């Protein structure tokens, strides 16, 4: 059994002390151990980043971008290797892992445009012989804390952009599936990133608290559950740090009576059950406008949910692999039990699934509930598993009210052929990311990702233009070179044109 290491100051670093087990979810076996960083190790990474910052911030943006170009090539060349590591430790299928990596590479491509996205603004002659301009300067040492469900993509939301903006970055990935994250960071070093600009430290809450409390860390990015997002936001902002903390979700899909039901069902299957539902953008609630729509939807979903191809994630041609841990599987099973006890109709029960040859794996089949009500726990809370709940309403207005009343506002979508209904939905829904006949409206890299309400703590969304703003601070400069022959008297009134 191998011990995964930290990456600090360009070197792999071992640490004696506390460790955590890393499982292969398909077999239920421990395959690695990962160190849980001490405060001394975290400080070592911070010191390395602080030392690297002066030279890196003064490196021309075009040269920083060249590192990202080489990094992109290395990611593409190592796609199969990275996907294999993701599948082995997370459990998602190889195809899903490759798709995750591709979406992460989009953000590296955006970071390659650093000379363009970091251009300031210039105004000549704002006053007599006075010019004014602004530029975007890096913050210094910044950090990111990323979740288990996207060990490649979410870190790539953060540090490529932070780094091309001139910052030095400390990454604390999930301790559940750290190998692919570490490999990707090593590829960035292979691309020519100077030592100290990126460090990877593994750990748990102790590592998170050390990053929060360190005065050298100027900003924190986080993706994970809402309770932890709220904790990080509260603790870091009171210490004067800039924070973007993305939390949980309960994403609804509204099906109108005029929807293309066959296409909607295909979209829902992937959005609800892809990656075992372990996505913050997963559709977990289908809101049907009218009983006729609901009955037709259930009739089409049931055979497809029962026919899901489930097995070891590293096998080919699958729809789903296992959940990430046995604890996660048991938690989702508990939600299913709770839904039955609350009176929801369990149309398909995914519990008790056993995969031949992988009987100890953390498997759970797809589950489908009908006649779920807003009072039920399975409606209110993020299940983070392969469970889809069907809610019945009488109108689009009722569907929208249902969504707007929910505490989360991450993503949503509507299936319809009616442009007027779609426009109303897009305008009035209180959710940060909206799809029209698109079930997973994850923005492309040159837009920004983020929800509303208790799905996001902070003012700026992740990656894209908001990411540039988050990892930089604007400096406005006003400059005057008076003519030598002129001499002006002192002015005591507030200056104006």
**What amino acid positions are annotated as catalytic residues?**
280
Q: Which residue has the tokens 């210490």?
A: 239
Cβ neighbours of residue 242 under 8 Å, at least 6 residues apart?
A: 139, 218, 219, 220, 458, 470
What tokens appear for 486 in the block?
């002129």
Neighbouring residues of 42: CB distance < 8 A, sequence distance ≥ 6:
170, 201, 203, 207, 210, 211, 214
Dump the DSSP string for 192-243.
Answer: TPPTTSEEE---SHHHHHHHHH-TTEEEEEEES-HHHHHHHHHHHHTTT-EE
Q: Name, in order, each residue with C-beta under 8 angstroms of 65's C-beta and a sequence gap of 6 or more.
A: 111, 112, 113, 114, 115, 164
CA angle 318, 324, 325 (to 5 degrees): 130
**Beta-sheet pairing, 367-370 with 198-200:** unpaired
Contacts of 18 (CB under 8 A, 6+ apart): 35, 36
Q: Contact, 232 vs 256, CB < 8 A?
A: no
CA-CA distance, 434 to 266, in Å (whole number)?
18
Residue 20 forms beta bridges with which residues?
34
Task: Give dist(CA 321, CA 339) in Å, integer.
Answer: 23
């Amino acid at each position: 059994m191998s011990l995964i290491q930290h990456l600090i100051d360009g070197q792999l670093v071992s640490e004696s002390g506390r460790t955590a087990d890393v499982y292969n979810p398909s077999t239920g076996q421990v395959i690695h151990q990962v160190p849980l960083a001490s405060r001394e190790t975290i400080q070592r990474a911070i010191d390395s980043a602080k030392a690297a910052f002066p030279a890196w911030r003064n490196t021309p943006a075009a040269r920083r971008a060249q590192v990202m170009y080489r990094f992109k090539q290395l990611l593409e060349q190592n796609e199969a290797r990275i996907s294999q590591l993701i599948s082995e430790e997370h459990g998602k299928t190889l195809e899903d892992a490759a798709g995750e990596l591709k979406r992460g590479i989009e953000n590296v491509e955006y970071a390659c445009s650093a000379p363009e996205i970091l251009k300031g603004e210039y105004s000549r002659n704002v006053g007599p012989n006075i010019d004014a301009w602004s530029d975007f300067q890096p913050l210094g040492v910044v950090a990111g804390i990323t979740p288990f469900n996207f060990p490649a993509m979410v870190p790539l939301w953060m540090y490529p952009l932070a780094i091309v903006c001139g910052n030095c970055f400390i990454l604390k990935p999930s301790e559940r599936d750290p190998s692919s994250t570490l490999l990707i960071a090593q590829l960035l070093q292979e691309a020519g990133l100077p030592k100290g600009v990126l460090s990877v430290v593994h750990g748990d809450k102790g590592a998170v608290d050390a990053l929060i409390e360190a005065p050298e860390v100027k900003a924190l990015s986080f993706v994970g559950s809402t309770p932890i997002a709220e904790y990080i936001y509260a603790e870091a902002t009171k210490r004067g740090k800039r924070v973007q903390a993305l939390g949980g979700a309960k994403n609804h899909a509204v099906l109108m009576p005029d929807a293309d039901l066959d296409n909607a069902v295909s979209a829902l299957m992937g959005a609800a059950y892809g990656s075992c539902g372990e996505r913050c953008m997963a559709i977990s609630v289908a809101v049907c406008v009218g009983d006729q729509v609901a009955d037709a939807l259930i009739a089409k979903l049931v055979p497809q949910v029962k026919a899901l191809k489930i097995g070891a994630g590293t096998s080919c041609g699958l729809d789903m692999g296992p959940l990430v841990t046995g604890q996660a599987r048991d938690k989702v099973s508990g939600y299913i039990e709770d839904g039955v006890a609350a009176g929801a109709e369990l149309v398909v029960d995914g519990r008790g699934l056993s995969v031949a040859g992988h009987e100890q794996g953390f498997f759970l089949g797809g589950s489908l509930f009908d006649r779920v009500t807003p009072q039920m726990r399975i409606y209110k809370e993020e299940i983070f598993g392969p469970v889809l709940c069907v809610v019945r309403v009488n109108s689009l207005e009722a569907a929208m009210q249902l969504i707007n009343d929910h505490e989360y506002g991450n993503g949503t979508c509507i299936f319809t052929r009616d442009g007027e209904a779609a426009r109303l939905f897009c305008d009035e829904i209180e959710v940060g990311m909206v799809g029209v006949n698109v079930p997973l409206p994850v923005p492309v890299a040159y837009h920004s990702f983020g929800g509303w309400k208790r799905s996001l703590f902070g003012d700026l969304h992740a990656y894209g233009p908001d990411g540039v703003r988050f990892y930089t601070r604007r400096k406005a400069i006003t400059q005057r070179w008076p003519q030598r022959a002129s001499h002006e008297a002192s002015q005591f009134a507030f200056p104006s044109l």
